[in-house]
Structure 1
Amino acid sequence: MTTAREAELRLEAVEQPRAHEYVAEQLRREIALRVLPPTAPLPPERDLARIFRVSRATVQLAMRLLEREGLIERRRGRNGGTFVIEPAEEAPTALLAGIAEKRTFIEETLDFRAELEPAAAAQAAGTAGSEDLDAIERAAELAEAAKDDAEFMRYDTEFHLAVARASHNRYFERAVVQSRVVLNDVLPALPETALWHARTHRQHAAVLEALRAGSAPAARRAMLQHVRDTDRSVRALLAALDPARPA
């Protein structure tokens, strides 16, 4: 029985993940962010063990977990290794149904992102070094040169993560990563057009220009405009999926 005092406390039951689950979760996140895009090789197990500071056996358990989830595959032979699997083309109805089920979660993410990313950009205007700015510019250029929507989304994601890293604030960076993981499940359902891509490139350029000028107000405005356009598109999609529900 819960006492009145316990009811006031914001406490939850503890579930202690094992080491290989931590490893799998981080790799799963990198795959969701397209930092590890489809068909990309994962680092060798010995390198992952060194990066995560765990045993090779722990890495192998994580690999088996991701393999069962259909995220990676292991290939033997001369060109062997572990690779990210090209996801099967999801039926539009299944994709949209999954988005509709997570509508509240997605809307909360959009609300949070509208405050988060402009603040991160404003911070980055005062903290970004030359290497940070070069990384942001490189991501913007790769997004503009992308050959298809999947490649575009990969480098658009990298642009936003690079801006967050340039803030040199771990909390901004972690929060942008988490919000992007959510949005990367939704963005493939949006009708991406040449006009939409061109607008994104202009907005990336505006953010970068403000960062190079070291102007926090301009960086905040440019990023806010950028995220608002995506926000409107995603909310329009959510409203179309459930027109009876208030926006």
Structure 2
Amino acid sequence: MESSYFARFKQVTPKRVSDFILEQLEEAIILKEVLPDEQLPPERELATLFKASRLAVREAIAELEQKGLIERRLGAKGGTFVLPLTANTHERTIKQIAENWNETKEMLEYRSIIEPEAARLAAARITPDHLACIRELVEKSSGEDCSRETFRSLDVRFHLEIARASGNSYIENAVRKVRTKINPGLDLMPYNRQIQLASYEMHRILLEALERRDGDRAGKTMSLHVGKTLDALSQFVE
């Protein structure tokens, strides 16, 4: 008698080389590791970096362009450039986010478990270099001239840096995965000076806990911080 477990196996889905290239470039753009208006390397160079054909690179670039993440510019200063994600939020509707809300909600719940633990570990393991980087990100996020796109970039980098400071590659990769999935939804959230300063204050308290190596406070503050994000996005979408 065959085990019923085998019925739960997932079918194999064919994956093209261009899909692997697309995933890496899209993640880098969504996580603000490649900044708006930054030029991507030429196709030939990308093909060398990925050890893939130029055709595969071209297919990935075309998909990024279709998603509104990049644009190709002609002329002497032409090339392929990253577009500001928040500048294109009008192309993504609340309905589109709502259609994938169950998956997004699961990711946010997963985040509420992973990121507080990352903060606790970071408080014990953080290096002076990590602290200096996080401190700079927090300071930059308080300015009155902090635009929506800059704010989103600083926020993502703040959370990723804490994940790195945890010294655990599995936690870091988990946080990267979560942020890649939820950022399109977060980009739709309202932004104003009040929201900016509220986020800055939470980040400042987190930084203080990390500086004091207070793991308990760091974990509790992060839990409160990501919990507010889940509540805000839930009210926005549902």
SS in 2 for 1:163: helix
In structure 1, distance between residues paired with 2:94 and 2:58: 34
The code of the aligned residue for 1:200 comes to S
Map Cα deviations across residues 168-219 of structure 1 (whole Å, 9 max, x no partner).
Answer: 2222112112221232222233333322211211111111122122222121
Q: Look up the equivalent residue of 2:203 and give its one-letter code.
A: H
What is the number of residues matched between the two proteins? Answer: 235
Counterparts of 2:77 and 2:234, CA distance in 1: 44
Counterparts of 2:168 and 2:51 in 1: how far apart (Å)? 23
User: Which residue of structure 1 lines up, in the alignment, with residue 101 of structure 2?
Assistant: 103
SS of 2:90 mapped into structure 1: coil
Name 2:168's counterpart in structure 1.
169
* Corresponding position of 1:41: 39
Query: Alpha-carbon deviations, 1:22-79, whole Å to 9, x = none?
Result: 1111111122223334322223445544543445554344323323444322334331
Equivalent-residue separation in structure 2 for 1:12 and 1:178 (angstroms) = 21
Structure 2 SS opposite 1:147: coil
Evaluate the alpha carbon distance shift between residue 172 and residue 147 of structure 1 in structure 2; reply closer, same or farther with a 3 A threshold: same
The equivalent residue for 1:133 is 131
Contact 2:89 2:188 in 1 (8 A): no
TM-score normalised by L of structure 1: 0.82
Structure 1 pair 208/73, CA: closer, same or farther in 2 (3 Å)? same
1:163 corresponds to which letter in structure 2?
A: I
Q: Which runs of 5+ in 1 are unaligned?
A: 242-247
Change (3 A) 1:100 1:23: same
Deviations 1:80-137 (A, max 9, x none): 221023554516xx61111221221122122111111000111111222122222222
Give a deviation string over 1:130-189, Cα, whole Å, max 9, x none.
222222222222322353212211111111111111112222112112221232222233
Contact 1:122 1:216 in 2 (8 A): yes
Aligned-partner Cα distance in 1 for 2:200–2:47: 38
Which one-letter code corresponds to 2:219 in the other structure?
R
5+ residue gaps, structure 2 = none
1:196 equivalent to 2:200? Answer no
Residues 1:77 and 2:75 aligned together? yes
Identify the residue that residue 216 of structure 1 maps to in structure 2. 215
In the other structure, the counterpart of 2:3 is 5
Residue equivalent to 1:245: none
Q: How far apart in 2 are the matches of 1:47 and 1:72?
A: 17
